[in-house]
């Protein structure tokens, strides 16, 4: 695995340069933050990530790097919303699901569960199972 990462790093530097690659990566991440803010609102993003709107502004303006754990949380949220959409669950119902205490999550809300997880990807399967269980 380490050799593959080194090879990709060399290829990235030769093809577009590290600076261009990093700029593109930031654009992709900032697009994720912007899309979540527009689609769900700052209050929802704050509840799920713990980030205040002023910090989100700094990410979107490029002054602060998007922390990996926040990116993971946002990608998990995106996946969960896609799951609801695939099952024709109304957007408002999907948003409400994140704020409702859930038995499968020990009585915690999905947003609180995701926000509290030290490693967001570790709770992703539990959240996905809870989401699918709520789809009727």
**pLDDT tens column, 108-132:** 999 999 999 999 999 999 999 999 9
Provide the whole-model pTM: 0.75
Name every residue whose Cβ is closer than 8 Å to that of residue 10 and which is 6 or more positions away in sequence.
none
Contacts 24+ apart (CB under 8 A), 103-111: 104/129, 104/130, 104/133, 105/130, 110/80, 111/44, 111/47, 111/48
**pLDDT tens column, 9-47:** 555 555 555 554 455 455 566 778 888 888 888 998 888
Backbone phi, psi, residue 104, to 5°: -65, -15
What pLDDT, on the 0 to 100 scale, is given for residue 24? 47
Q: Where are the beta strands (DSSP E) in the chain?
A: none
């Amino acid at each position: 695995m380490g050799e593959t990462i080194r090879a990709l790093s060399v290829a990235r530097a030769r093809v577009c340069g590290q600076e261009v690659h990093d700029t593109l990566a930031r654009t992709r991440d900032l697009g994720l933050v912007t899309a979540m803010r527009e689609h769900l609102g700052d209050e929802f993003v704050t509840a799920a990530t713990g980030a205040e709107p002023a910090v989100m502004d700094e990410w979107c303006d490029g002054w602060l790097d998007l922390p990996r754990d926040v990116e993971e949380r946002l990608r998990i949220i995106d996946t969960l919303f896609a799951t609801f959409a695939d099952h024709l669950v109304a957007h408002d119902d999907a948003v409400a699901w994140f704020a409702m205490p859930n038995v499968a999550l020990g009585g915690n809300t999905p947003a609180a569960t995701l926000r509290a997880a030290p490693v967001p990807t570790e709770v992703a399967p539990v959240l996905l199972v809870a989401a699918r269980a709520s789809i009727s």
